[in-house]
Chains A and B, each alone.
Chain A
């Protein structure tokens, strides 16, 4: 009997824990890129390569998890621009030319729910919805002057990813996410996509 129990324990360890078994907590890091969309793309239109995230998910059912997610997304673009002063809200007519450096730093802090296709232990598709807040800082530098504004925004971030077993109690994942940070006070809404790749472990 003891031998059977021991064998069973070894089997469980050897296979890894039953992936996504109910009650399991998974934690993961991801590298994330960002691409602004909508009006946000008028400020920064190129793919930005700087970003990272950390999250945790608890399997509440065999194919459903609940958890949290936080990240740091940096979007930036620079170049020589000529802006129309009147169009920018100045009370006089004219233009301003210089090297403009635009930055958006976004820090989402969210709760999430994910649904997984297929069976635990296999490669699965995960569809999820994040809901929470974004702390977003916008900064424009021109010449030796910088304007920085920041605000908290309510936001949602639906995402789709593929999760696959990767070694002992580890999973790799790759996916895409759409971020929508609602208007907040005088700060307009911010929208952008993430493309991410990461690893999670239990």
Chain B
């Protein structure tokens, strides 16, 4: 036989309240374990043309300047060029690892079917645009020096929009575009073979930025095995 007391009943009631409080506190967050550092916001997207003759390219011209692009109607953001050379070197290393021969810009041969061209850009403004992957780069012509860059975009941020609709580019996003020099409409429009977008990685310059650049550019190449030359 159990003994019952008012004190016991109070203790039980107190226990229930405490138990309920513990249970509620355990479940207060719908989204546990969310982002805790900026590196976790990095995204590396790669898109490629399925029509390209992959495996036939064996040399690449990597332009030696990182272009800061600003869409019309946007305010320019002054981004540091501290990491430009690191980015260019990493892109070159990526192609070399896939068996490409690096060709100097002055030695580029536009009639060489095995040669492609790579330009690197960083978004110097935030803007919302429509995704418009058309497989063509219409920004500027690389033969005539640096005529500037116009409104043409070949690339949109594909994440999470279902492929259509409005999408946002973030300041400091790195774009790497691999172009087919022979397949061009005119001096300023060429077919895009491969495009990389690394979201917002240069939006700030912190101690970890260099590591993030290295990790993400390396990842872009790793997830694009079709780049392999001389297959």
Contacts and interface: CB of A to CB of B under 8 A. Distances in A.
Interface residues of A, number: 48
A25 B172 CA distance: 61
Interface in B7-36: 8-9, 12, 15-16, 19-20, 22-24, 26-27, 29-35
Given A52-B23, A143-B41, A144-B199, A92 B47 contact: yes
Nearest to B8: A168
Contact of A14 (B3, B16, B34): B3
A63 to B, nearest CB: 23
Given A52-B23, A168-B8, A105 B16 contact: no
A103 B30 contact: yes
A29 B43 contact: no
A78 B34 CA distance: 8
B153 interface: no
A95 B43 contact: no
Interface string B29-67: 111111100001111111110100000000000000000
Contacts, number: 133
Interface in A110-127: none
Contacts of B47: 85, 92-94
B198 to A, nearest CB: 10
Nearest to A71: B27
Contacts of A91: 133, 163
Nearest to B196: A94
Contacts of A1: none
A18 interface: no
B12 A170 contact: yes
Contacts of B16: 29, 199, 201
B162 interface: yes
B181 interface: no
B12 A103 contact: no
Contacts of A145: 159-160, 168
Interface string A123-144: 0000000000000010111111
A95 B27 CA distance: 35
A52 B24 contact: yes
B223 interface: yes
A74 B43 contact: no
15 contacts: A13-B4, A16-B4, A52-B27, A74-B29, A89-B162, A89-B163, A95-B223, A99-B41, A99-B42, A101-B33, A141-B31, A168-B2, A169-B12, A201-B12, A201-B16
> 4 closest pairs, A vs B, by CB?
A94-B47, A98-B43, A143-B43, A52-B23
